[in-house]
Amino acid sequence: MSENDFDGQLSSYLDALPRDEYGQPVIGSKDLTFVRKASAVAGGVQLLESLSEQWLALEATKGIKQATVAERRGHLNKLLTYLGDDARPTDLTKARAVGFVEEALNPLPVGKSRKQFMLATCRAFADWLEVRGMIPTSDPFGKVGMLLRAADTSRDERSTWSPEDLLRMLQAIPQIDPMWPLVAICAYTAARPQELCNVRCEDVTETTLTINRSKTQAGERTIPIPPQLRGLVSRLAGQSSDGWLLSGLTTSTPDDNRFKLIGKRLQTVRKRVGLCKTLQVYSLRHTGITLMTEAGHPEWLRQLIVGHEGGSTIMAKHYVKSKNLELMAEAMAAISFGETVDGYVMSAGETS
């Protein structure tokens, strides 16, 4: 617009604002941020907001998954929220980095390792700014990691599912809903729920299930299908409408994450049935590992089953490969939730 049109719009905007005791217009904080951002851009100043997008674009060229880039954007958004949307590189000082850890990260209800990952993203971004000569402090996030604290989880220490917990969860979900088989298969295989959402029907035989998409190379594995699940898995594969074992899932995020949305629905069900927050679907994996450990099965065998890498796992792949499935089946037999729950899950395989 022309300069006169702009002045007219500005006058109308200011006239509509409330006035302070001196008769000056009171501008809202969001509008004030926009004004400051506009002033900086007009003056040729680069804001952290735009610089963070440049850094993320560079990261995306390194073969990193789009979901990981999106996750790092979320970490940087926490930093930008703390510093202010109109923050400039000069605002990223050691004092502000310390404040970010103590005031923004430490209060988050997540584990210390998760906070360390968030901080690592911010530090990598700061290193990039430092190389370009844009921040006044050398390594503003250096050593501030020692200030990180884990969330207080003293009220919810239990993370192992009991048979009663699993039964309550399953009974709260219709068996025709994909959530039901996902919970059941997680419980008896100790597999990651994200892995199971990416299993295709062609990866399933009468007695085995192959996981081809996992977070690690060790996670790509073939495991026996426990007796409690054989009818269920067979039915799912036979009735699939899209080639996936868990059919009909809605994808999310740029890399077509098939677990994220169903994971949110499972959280809603967990809260509705009154299970403590540590009893996540993922912690069914820890429950299975615990049951196999208590039954005396060796670590290398547990690693093969759940897809953990380790020296003993590598040795097992070389020396006992011919007996792996047999040995895994023996170990997985320890994953039982009692006759009532086991029978309930087995009966689902007979449901058409």
Tens of pLDDT, residues 138-183: 899 999 999 998 875 544 455 789 999 999 999 999 999 999 999 9
Averaged pLDDT for residues 87-112: 90
In 3D, which of 174, 197, 177, 184 has the Cα closest to residue 281? 184
Residue 204 lies in a domain: yes
- Same domain for 125 and 169, yes or no, is no
- Same domain for 255 and 279, yes or no, is yes
- Same domain for 123 and 229, yes or no, is no
Instruction: Give me the pLDDT at residue 219, please.
Output: 76
Compute φ and ψ for 324, nearest 5 degrees.
-55, -50
pLDDT band per the 50, 70, 90 thresholds, residue 320: very low
Residues written for the chain: 352
98, pLDDT greater than 50: yes
Residue 61 lies in a domain: yes
Residue 92 lies in a domain: yes
Residue type (1 letter), 338 = G
Helix (H, G, I), strand (E, B) or coil at 283: helix
pLDDT band per the 50, 70, 90 thresholds, residue 92: very high
In 3D, which of 170, 258, 167 has the Cα closest to residue 213? 258
284, pLDDT greater than 70: yes
Instruction: Give me the pLDDT at residue 254, please.
Output: 65
- Same domain for 187 and 308, yes or no, is yes
pTM of structure: 0.58
Last residue of a domain, one of 147, 180, 203: 147
- Same domain for 134 and 201, yes or no, is no
Averaged pLDDT for residues 193-220: 87
Instruction: Give me the pLDDT at residue 155, please.
Output: 44
Residue 134 lies in a domain: yes
Residue 204: strand pairing partners: 209
Q: Which residue has the higher pLDDT, 318 or 341?
A: 341
Instruction: Give me the pLDDT at residue 253, please.
Output: 63
Average pLDDT over all residues of the chain: 87
- Which of 198-202, 217-221, 283-287, 333-337 is least confident? 217-221
Residue 221 is classified by DSSP as E
312, pLDDT greater than 80: no
Contacts of 202 (CB under 8 A, 6+ apart): 243
- Same domain for 303 and 338, yes or no, is yes
- Same domain for 178 and 143, yes or no, is no
- Same domain for 168 and 206, yes or no, is yes
- Same domain for 277 and 326, yes or no, is yes
Distance from C-alpha of 57 to C-alpha of 54, rounded to nearest angstrom: 5
257, pLDDT greater than 80: yes
In 3D, which of 169, 177, 185, 178 has the Cα closest to residue 230? 185
Distance from C-alpha of 119 to C-alpha of 8, rounded to nearest angstrom: 46
Averaged pLDDT for residues 49-77: 88
Q: Which residue has the higher pLDDT, 287 or 278?
A: 287
pLDDT band per the 50, 70, 90 thresholds, residue 17: confident
- Between the alpha carbon of residue 86 and those of residues 31, 33, 58, 73, 91, the distances in Å are 11, 6, 22, 17, 10
Residue 213 lies in a domain: yes
Residue 1 lies in a domain: no
- Tokens representing 91 are 């605002």
- Same domain for 173 and 243, yes or no, is yes
- Which of 167-181, 245-259, 324-338 is least confident? 245-259
Residue 14 lies in a domain: no
Averaged pLDDT for residues 221-248: 94
DSSP string across 226-262: PHHHHHHHHHHHHH-SSSBSSTTPPPBTTTTBSSHHH
Residue 318 lies in a domain: yes
The total domain count for the chain is: 2
Last residue of a domain, one of 89, 122, 147: 147
332, pLDDT greater than 50: yes
Instruction: Give me the pLDDT at residue 255, please.
Output: 66
Q: What is the domain-level CATH number for residue 112?
A: 1.10.150
Q: Which residue has the higher pLDDT, 136 or 97?
A: 97
Question: CA quadruple 227, 228, 230, 231: dihedral positive or negative?
Answer: positive
Residue 257: strand pairing partners: 252
Residue 103 is classified by DSSP as I
Helix (H, G, I), strand (E, B) or coil at 333: coil
Averaged pLDDT for residues 25-32: 82
Instruction: Give me the pLDDT at residue 152, please.
Output: 58
Compute φ and ψ for 311, nearest 5 degrees.
-60, -40
pLDDT band per the 50, 70, 90 thresholds, residue 95: very high
- Same domain for 172 and 101, yes or no, is no
Q: Which residue has the higher pLDDT, 284 or 219?
A: 284
Last residue of a domain, one of 147, 182, 200: 147
- Same domain for 278 and 177, yes or no, is yes
Instruction: Give me the pLDDT at residue 318, please.
Output: 43
Helix (H, G, I), strand (E, B) or coil at 117: helix
In 3D, which of 229, 224, 202, 227 has the Cα closest to residue 213? 202
Instruction: Give me the pLDDT at residue 351, please.
Output: 63
Distance from C-alpha of 88 to C-alpha of 39, rounded to nearest angstrom: 12
Domain coverage including residue 254: 163-348
Q: What is the domain-level CATH number for residue 195?
A: 1.10.443.10
